[in-house]
Structure 1
Amino acid sequence: MSGLYDDQLLDELLRGTQSLVGEWGLSDQTEVRLLTISENMTCLAYDPTQDKQLILRVHRPGYHTREEIQSELLWINDLRQQEIVDTPKPIATQAGTAIASFSTNNEIRDVVAFSFMSGKEPSTDSELINGFQQLGSISAKLHNHSQNWVRPVTFVRKTWNFDTMLGASPLWGDWRAAAGLTDSGRQTIEEACLIIRHQLEAYGMGDRRFGLVHADLRLANLLVDGNRLGVIDFDDCGLSWFMYDFAAAISFIEDDPLVASLQSAWIQGYRDHRPLSAVDEAMFPTFILLRRVLLTAWLASHSETPTAQELGTEFTAVTVNMAAQYISSHQ
């Protein structure tokens, strides 16, 4: 993927985003400020003349096509219409288009807008257990909708299976490029990946197990406000195993002592709305490690992001330890 998020590029992207605010009816006094950098750049646009604020997401080029972005927004709109989940509303431009764009460094940057949603990211303490029961319920409702929704013929999203995650052409890069990975660590993860592949092939991709999922329900994409648990950022939604959504939910905290309790709470909430078999439950360790190795690959291919710089080589070391434990559990 092109374009590292250095300071110069960030300044250019902010200026480009600023130039588009009129597309959504915001005045030239609108302030655009950076919120986060991950796959994309997310900004808050505030217009003091209207006391109005929008979230603007600036897409990284070379990842999603316009058709994929439009498909994400179609799913969000249907989820909102059916009141499946609390999530921000996609905001069309005044011309009625879903996507605006600007050009910088000879690259087109697609930009989409969402309504502002209040709340804060859940904290990793004992209160998170109750939140995960609620998240399990939300996940089940999402999966029920996914299984029953007749997708438009124009709908297209990426497929998250073993090959696109950890195979020959991984969407998020090669985990073998991870910071601090030793030869022995690489061999350990390679061995674990062989087991993961075998487990996934045996589990299968039937329509009760595999479908359209959020695919990134991590804490950073949840907003708590009182009793409401909001879900944001469907940017990675695609076709994958339903149980993968739990693994994504514990991204970056897989080794936290709370995980066993979080898993139990999530399963309890899930079963309130959708069946979950013992076979499904037995696959959790496989999906957790699948996601962990995928994140290791993402950090390697997105080394300029604050997340990658903060986690460094320690994240790789924990991934290797998790892989070794996974191998031991399958001997």
Structure 2
Amino acid sequence: MSTPFAQLSRPAQVARLRASAQAALQAYPLEVRRLRLLNHGFNTTFRVDTTSGERYALRLNVNSRRSPAQLAAEVAWLAALARDTDLQLPVPQPRRDGALLGEVWNEALGHALPATLFSWLPGRDLGEQATPRQLREVGRAAALLHRHAQGFTLPAGAALQSLRDPLMGMGDHLRPGPLLPEDALAVVQAVRTQVDAVLARLYAAQAPRPLHADLHLWNVKWHRGRLSVFDFDDSGLGLPVQDLTISAYYLRPKAELEAALLDGYAAVAPCPM
């Protein structure tokens, strides 16, 4: 009996996924010169170098909970953003059959994995070294995403999860215990009740639209003075203020970066409430 995938070593997992990546790339009109691991975590991404000198990123959705309809919505929005805006994004690449999505069997996991090929984004993640100038560009990008999403209609067969739930569908697993006594849990529950009430008011007044929903400093790159935005794997239907709130969460306590984010947004559109 073969070893379950989760019990394999990291190199062994990557080796088995590499075989699937090589199989997935056969569906694209390109010749692969080199396949190099970029990230092996929640999903697994390989850098693809072709014999013609082009570069791409191939994502295998190993652990993602995304449904086929949600994946279809993600790539449809990315394709529309690439067509309609000046944002630098990972553009989904068509297979030989014209589809932007594919699947590839993985023997170790015993099921097919969604496989998507994206255009290459040069540069480095902003991360801890981000400057106020760069955060203004992140704010501008968020505003452009939200403005485009307001007029974007998902194609037939595509759908995004709702972000109306304060826990975004993750479920409430908090229970009283040594690290969370009853009085502390009561505070958490009271805050959640307040957040739910605010969201109910906002959703009653505004129509939800596609959001990136994970716009932090490790999901944006900087190259030669230009910003690019990637990792739309958590995108969902929500309100612009939720996107900005998620971004601001990762910036605190650096108030100057949060202020720069909002300044950049306000240069394109009024800050949401």
TM-score, normalization by structure 2: 0.85
Cα deviation for residue 187 of structure 1 reads 4.0
Opposite residue 189 of structure 2, the aligned amino acid is E
In structure 2, relative to structure 1, the CA distance for the partners of 1:62 and 1:232 (3 Å cut) is closer
Q: Distance in 2 between matches of 1:149 and 1:141?
A: 12
Matched, 1:149 2:148: no
After superposition, give the CA deviation of every residue in 1:220-249 in whole Å (9 maximum; x if it has no partner). 110101221101121111101211112332
Instruction: State the partner residue of 2:19.
Output: 15
Instruction: State the partner residue of 2:35.
Output: 32
Instruction: State the partner residue of 1:110.
Output: 114
Cα deviation for residue 124 of structure 1 reads 2.3
Cα deviation for residue 123 of structure 1 reads 3.7
Check the 8 A contact 1:21/1:30 in 2, yes or no: no
1:120-131 correspondence to structure 2 within 5 Å: 120-125=124-129, 127-131=130-134
In structure 2, relative to structure 1, the CA distance for the partners of 1:205 and 1:112 (3 Å cut) is farther
Q: Distance in 1 between matches of 2:16 and 2:264?
A: 44
Q: Distance in 2 between matches of 1:164 and 1:51?
A: 43
Q: Distance in 2 between matches of 1:42 and 1:200?
A: 34
After superposition, give the CA deviation of every residue in 1:40-98 in whole Å (9 maximum; x if it has no partner). 21111223x33232100101366122222122111111111112421122111122222
Check the 8 A contact 2:42/2:63 in 1, yes or no: no
1:232-311 correspondence to structure 2 within 5 Å: 232-250=230-248, 253-254=250-251, 256-258=252-254, 260-276=255-271, 280=273
Q: Distance in 2 between matches of 1:231 and 1:5?
A: 33
Q: Distance in 2 between matches of 1:201 and 1:132?
A: 30
Opposite residue 158 of structure 1, the aligned amino acid is Q
After superposition, give the CA deviation of every residue in 1:146-182 in whole Å (9 maximum; x if it has no partner). 11223334331111122662xxxx3x354538xx943
Instruction: State the partner residue of 2:229.
Output: 231
Compute the RMSD of aligned alpha carbons.
2.8
Instruction: State the partner residue of 1:41.
Output: 44
Opposite residue 88 of structure 2, the aligned amino acid is D
Opposite residue 230 of structure 1, the aligned amino acid is S
After superposition, give the CA deviation of every residue in 1:114-148 in whole Å (9 maximum; x if it has no partner). 011111111424x5221121111111111111112
- Name whichever structure is richer in helix by fraction: 1
1:202-213 correspondence to structure 2 within 5 Å: 202-207=201-206, 210-213=208-211
Q: Secondary structure at the match of 1:86?
A: coil
After superposition, give the CA deviation of every residue in 1:204-235 in whole Å (9 maximum; x if it has no partner). 34336x32111111111101012211011211
Instruction: State the partner residue of 2:99.
Output: 97
Q: Distance in 2 between matches of 1:246 and 1:86?
A: 19
Q: Secondary structure at the match of 1:124?
A: helix
Q: Distance in 2 between matches of 1:24 and 1:237?
A: 25
Check the 8 A contact 1:61/1:108 in 2, yes or no: no
Opposite residue 46 of structure 2, the aligned amino acid is C
Check the 8 A contact 2:137/2:261 in 1, yes or no: yes
Instruction: State the partner residue of 1:59.
Output: 61
Unmatched runs of 5 consecutive residues or more in structure 1 = 281-331
Q: How many matched pairs?
A: 265
Cα deviation for residue 275 of structure 1 reads 1.8
Unmatched runs of 5 consecutive residues or more in structure 2 = none
